[in-house]
Amino acid sequence: MRMTEETATVVAELVRLGLVGSGVTPRLTPLTGGVASDIWKVETPERCFCVKRALAKLRVAADWRAPVERNAYEVAWFETAGRIVPDAVPRLLGHAPRAGLFAMSYLDPAEYRLWKAELLAGRAKPDDAAAVGDRLVRIHADTADDSGVARRFDSDAIFHAIRLEPYLEATARAHPDVAGALMELSRATARTRRCLVHGDVSPKNIQIGPKGPVFLDAECAWFGDPAFDLAFCLNHLLLKALAVPAARQALSDSFTALATTYLGGVTWEPSAAMEARTARLLPGLFLARVDGKSPVEYLTDEADKSRVRRTARALLRRPATRLADILETWHAELKA
């Protein structure tokens, strides 16, 4: 791409970090898929890597802004999670906190399959989902009730700005009759502080590599409620059943595999309590992906959106305590 003032600033930071030689003009290729950051593939004669820079205003239709210092928490999440499950994160190469950017290894699509693309292509594999659940719960369990991690990830304001407000609270404004339930979910999530939370465990941020799933985009990192991560990921497996009808059984099996594997690794509280909190939160996130500030792009049919609304609102009024009950309720709606 042609060098602009913006990319010239990025290159200058990469030179300062020692990732690009002085006088070298690297090739920067914008990578797509995210709404919260600029991401480039950087190529020089010596190496190929990625650089990511947080945006103050996210690329969505709604006015959604978030502090750019979240970039530093993403780096910290990669460092912390990488010590627990080394193969679950990309390798960090450099960090320029004042510029709000960092560099990491480039994961070649020939070796790393984007989980979202796999699911939308109808290739839902329960083993992939179970591996995601296993790595996620290991990170949560290792950081549970760790005061040092809690101090490092004291990012309540950022998590509220980029997760609780645009998802639960914005959706509450769109649905006044269940606003009370949605606002209580936001408050309950905010006050639950147990583990290191990724905050965006979505299939678009998970690549399935030769050594298992790799988590990306941890800029929502926060020391808080692990139920948010579990519910956030399971939510996508429910939603994709509308987009890929032929894969509904495989998506259902993947939902069960992820939930079962994850709950089997819960050590910091009774597994049933963790499941109940996740089951209460899930319908709020389900509704948010239709009527919050970040609706999923693959649901465009109004009849499909109505099915999500109908199911989510019913579960918000009469909360479930078991994830299997949510799956059964969704199956009944899909068969109706």
Instruction: State the pLDDT at residue 39.
Output: 87
Instruction: State the pLDDT at residue 195.
Output: 98
CATH number, domain 5-105:
3.30.200.20
Instruction: State the pLDDT at residue 56.
Output: 58
| Cβ-Cβ contacts under 8 Å for 110 (sequence gap 6 or more) | none
What secondary structure letter does DSSP report for 90?
A: P
State how far the alpha carbon of 228 is from the alpha carbons of 30, 144, 192, 234, 282, in Å: 30, 14, 10, 10, 8
- Yes or no: say if 144 and 197 are a contact pair by the CB < 8 Å rule: no
The topology under which CATH files domain 113-335 is Aminoglycoside 3'-phosphotransferase; Chain: A, domain 2 (3.90.1200)
State how far the alpha carbon of 116 is from the alpha carbons of 124, 131, 137, 290, in Å: 9, 15, 20, 18
3-state DSSP assignment of residue 295: coil
Instruction: State the pLDDT at residue 98.
Output: 80
Instruction: State the pLDDT at residue 12.
Output: 87
Residue-wise pLDDT for 215-234, tens only, equals 999 989 999 999 999 999 99
Instruction: State the pLDDT at residue 61.
Output: 47
Q: Which helix (H) or strand (E) holds 179?
A: helix 179-191
pLDDT along the chain (336 residues), means of 10: 68 88 86 73 91 67 55 92 97 88 93 97 98 98 98 94 95 98 98 98 97 94 98 98 96 98 98 98 98 94 97 98 98 94
DSSP-assigned letters across all residues of 76-87: HHHHHHHHHSGG
Q: What would the two tokens of residue 64 be?
A: 């959604």
Instruction: State the pLDDT at residue 5.
Output: 62
Q: Where are the domains of the chain?
A: 5-105, 113-335
| Cβ-Cβ contacts under 8 Å for 40 (sequence gap 6 or more) | 7, 10, 28, 29, 30, 31, 50, 51
